[in-house]
Amino acid sequence: MQITPSILNADFARLGAEIARIPSADWIHVDVMDNHFVPNLTFGASMVEALARATETPLDAHLMIEDADRHAPAYVEAGCASVTFHVEAAKAPIRLAREIRAKGARASMALKPATPIEPYEDMLAELDMVLLMTVEPGFGGQRFLDLVLPKIRRTRTLLDSYGVQAWLQVDGGVSLETIGRCAEAGADVFVAGSAVYSADDPDAMVNALRDRAAEASSTA
């Protein structure tokens, strides 16, 4: 069980210090938004490069941007250890996943809540991670969509049936109240933004979330 706090809910004026508050995090989740694919604007490759210099915790870039085929490789070059592109924004997702891997990062494919996994099952072996959005992408602090839970289960079944070792990540509304349901359904990597950074002790929340997920997974 891995916890990947999103800095979308952190204080943008002091991101280095905000990352230092969560030393137990497995990854740092960086939400890159272009105000076109989603109605919000956040970071670019230059900011990501600066963040990579400020922490030894690996960066997990989630690209909510148009023309992912052209822009995604730049985030590997900026220092990200994992780069996630939205399949809805990729014209050649297999080629893009292979390019990200060839540059030395983990390749991940994200799907919006209404995008089914089944049309992409033949390319699962090309991926290191599948990200299922449990809210509509674009803003932090949204309520978890339980309707995605069956898709988490179907994706886990597909990964297992093909013998694919890819991680299964969920992002959106993850908290102590919802993470257990995600873990029970088969997720093993969890993005949590507001749950972490609204806590009095963000690092303690990281550990509490991991423990809750592990407990739910062991009893599934």
- From 34, 60, 171, 188, active-site residue: 171
Closest residue by Cα to residue 31 from 194, 202, 217: 194
User: Do the Cβ atoms of 72 and 96 come closer than 8 Å?
Assistant: yes
| pLDDT tens profile 58-88 | 999 999 999 999 999 999 999 999 999 999 9
Longest CA span, the chain: 45
Closest residue by Cα to residue 125 from 164, 161, 160, 96: 164
pLDDT of 141: 66
pLDDT of 131: 98
171 is catalytic: yes
31 is catalytic: yes
**pTM, entire model:** 0.95
Mean residue pLDDT of the chain comes to 94
Instruction: Give the number of domains in the chain.
Output: 1
Regarding beta strands 28-33 and 189-192, do their DSSP bridges make them parallel or antiparallel, or are they unpaired?
Answer: unpaired
Per-residue pLDDT of the chain (220 residues; tens, 9 = 90+): 999 999 998 998 999 999 999 999 999 999 999 888 887 888 889 999 999 999 999 999 999 999 999 999 999 999 999 999 999 999 999 999 999 999 999 999 999 999 999 999 999 999 999 999 999 886 666 789 999 999 999 999 999 999 999 999 999 999 999 999 999 999 999 999 999 999 999 999 999 999 999 999 988 6
Instruction: Tell me the CATH number at 168.
Output: 3.20.20.70
CA torsion 45→46→50→53, rounded to 10°?
A: 60
- From 26, 31, 69, 211, active-site residue: 31
Tell me how far CA of residue 185 lies from CA of 137, 148, 213, in angstroms. Answer: 21, 10, 11
pLDDT of 140: 66
Could you tell me the two tokens for 6? 């999103």
- Which residue range is the domain that position 164 belongs to? 2-219
